[in-house]
Amino acid sequence: MADKDLELARLENDRQQRRDKIKTLILHVLLILACVVTVYPLLRILSVSLRPGDKLMSTSLALIPEGASLKAYADVLTTTHFLRWLWNSLLITVVTSFIGVSLASTAGYAFSRFRFPGNKLGLTLLLGTQMIPAGMLLLPLFLMIMRLGLINTYIGMIIAYSVSSLPFSIWILKGYYDTIPRSLEEAALVDGTTQFGAFYRIVLPLSTPALAIAFLFNFTSSWNEYLVARVVLSDSARYTWTLGLFELQGQFLTQWGMFAAGSLLVTIPVLAVFLYSSKWLISGLTLGSVKG
């Protein structure tokens, strides 16, 4: 009797294990298929960037093309303004992010620690700005920048970018400050610092991770921006890299190799930073949206 039960149980167990194995196999197949769809275009860029100049137009799907060469990389670095474009982007982006995060760091603290008239209203208005279509503000901003004579300048770009991520940054930082216990500041106040001193010396250093995330968010959104730059910049030497690559890709396929090489050079650091920071970015995103 007991033997038979044991035998049955073993059979059942075997069947279960086999079923699990098949299930795992199916899951892996599905995931690999999905990964091919997401990664393949990136690999194609790599492949195009390695093509020798005379085989640029090719229907070959080989990942490493015949006669692979790095000439496209050399070309994009030497014959175009590519490095200049990267420098322009970097300069604009760093200054914008710096301004955005510094303004947000104090505003977030005020919203986190104080009750003052307009506290609630201010936070709601900040969320409300997220509803405004980007294309809607662009026209008046462009006309303002034009009237101030700032077309084709870094200053014009920085002005256009500087507050676009501010509401979101304020929300992220406020959320983070909320998690820092007030007792730390109270202890410092007893020791004779001012409230601002407590913020500056205690809360701000403790918030480094949140500040880094806000900085990164500002940074990526300006770094990858295209539409504003298209309107404000028209001189090729002042382009950001997004404009430059768009121009390279252009109508003619002759520069496709250079476009691919440039794209890859920009994408790899962006991918690295994104993947490294994605966990925090996502928690920041959901934080902002859940509270809204």
Partner 1 sequence: MNPIVASLTEVFQMVFFVLWSVFLVEAYLYLHFKKYEEKWFTPAMLAGVPLAGLVYAITAVGPAIPGSIMAAIAMYAFLVELAAIPFFKLVVRGRYSLPLMMIAPGFIGLAMLIAYPLVFEFYLAFHDLKLTTLKVWAETGSIPFMGFQNFVDVFVKSPLSEVTFWRLLLRTLGWTFVNVFFHVVGGFALALVLNNEIKMKGLYRTLLVIPWAMPQVVAVLAMRGEFHSQYGFINVMIERALTAMPWLAHLGIQKVEWLSQHPFLTCTMINVWLGIPFMMVVILGGLQSIPKSYYEAASIDGASAVQKFWNITLPLMRPVLAPAVTLGTIWTFNNINIIYLVTGQAGGTEEADILVSALYKAAFTYNRFSYSAAFAIVIFAILFLVSMLWLKYSKGTDSAYG
Query: Which parts of 122-141 interact with partner 1 (CB under 8 A)?
Result: 122, 126, 129-141
User: Phi and psi for 61 in degrees, rounded to 5?
Assistant: -105, 5
Shortest separation between residue 249's beta carbon and partner 1, angstroms: 5
Shortest separation between residue 183's beta carbon and partner 1, angstroms: 19
| Distance of alpha carbon 235 from alpha carbon 220, whole angstroms | 23
| Distance of alpha carbon 210 from alpha carbon 104, whole angstroms | 11
Among the residue ranges 10-18, 177-185, 204-212, 256-264, the one whose residues contact partner 1 (CB under 8 A): 256-264
Among the residue ranges 4-12, 66-74, 166-174, 211-219, the one whose residues contact partner 1 (CB under 8 A): 166-174
The one-letter amino acid code at 240 reads T
Could you tell me if residue 192 is left (phi over 0), alpha (psi between -120 and 50 degrees) or otherwise beta? left
7, 10, 12, 15 alpha-carbon torsion, rounded to 10° = -130
Q: Is residue 258 a contact point for partner 1 (CB under 8 A)?
A: no
Cα angle value 61/62/63 (rounded, 5°):
110
Name residues contacting partner 1, limited to 200-219 (CB under 8 A).
Answer: none
Q: Is residue 64 a contact point for partner 1 (CB under 8 A)?
A: no
| Distance of alpha carbon 109 from alpha carbon 287, whole angstroms | 17
Shortest separation between residue 39's beta carbon and partner 1, angstroms: 5
One DSSP character per residue, 172-193 reads HHHHHHHTS-HHHHHHHHHTT-
The one-letter amino acid code at 125 reads L
**Interface residue with partner 1, options 7, 21, 120, 226 (CB under 8 A):** 226
Beta-strand runs (E) in 108-160: none
Q: Is residue 289 a contact point for partner 1 (CB under 8 A)?
A: yes
Q: Is residue 180 a contact point for partner 1 (CB under 8 A)?
A: no
Name residues contacting partner 1, limited to 262-281 (CB under 8 A).
Answer: 263, 266-267, 270-271, 274-275, 278
Nearer to partner 1, 69 or 249 (CB): 249
| Distance of alpha carbon 97 from alpha carbon 121, whole angstroms | 25
Shortest separation between residue 275's beta carbon and partner 1, angstroms: 6
How many residues bind partner 1, per CB under 8 A? 105
Among the residue ranges 8-16, 72-80, 176-184, 257-265, the one whose residues contact partner 1 (CB under 8 A): 257-265
CB atoms within 10 A of CB 104: 26
Shortest separation between residue 1's beta carbon and partner 1, angstroms: 26
Name residues contacting partner 1, limited to 88-117 (CB under 8 A).
Answer: 88, 91-92, 95, 98-99, 103-104, 106-107, 109-111, 113-114, 116-117
Q: Is residue 30 a contact point for partner 1 (CB under 8 A)?
A: yes
Q: What are all long-range contacts of 212-215, with beta carbons under 8 Å and residues at least 24 apart?
A: 212/277, 213/172, 213/277, 213/280, 213/281, 213/284, 214/100, 214/101, 214/104, 214/105, 214/169, 214/172, 214/173, 215/97, 215/98, 215/101
CB atoms within 10 A of CB 173: 25
**Interface residue with partner 1, options 58, 69, 152, 193 (CB under 8 A):** 58
Closest CA to 77 of 64, 67, 68, 87: 87
Q: Is residue 151 a contact point for partner 1 (CB under 8 A)?
A: no
**Interface residue with partner 1, options 57, 181, 191, 192 (CB under 8 A):** 57
Nearer to partner 1, 8 or 139 (CB): 139
Q: Is residue 182 a contact point for partner 1 (CB under 8 A)?
A: no
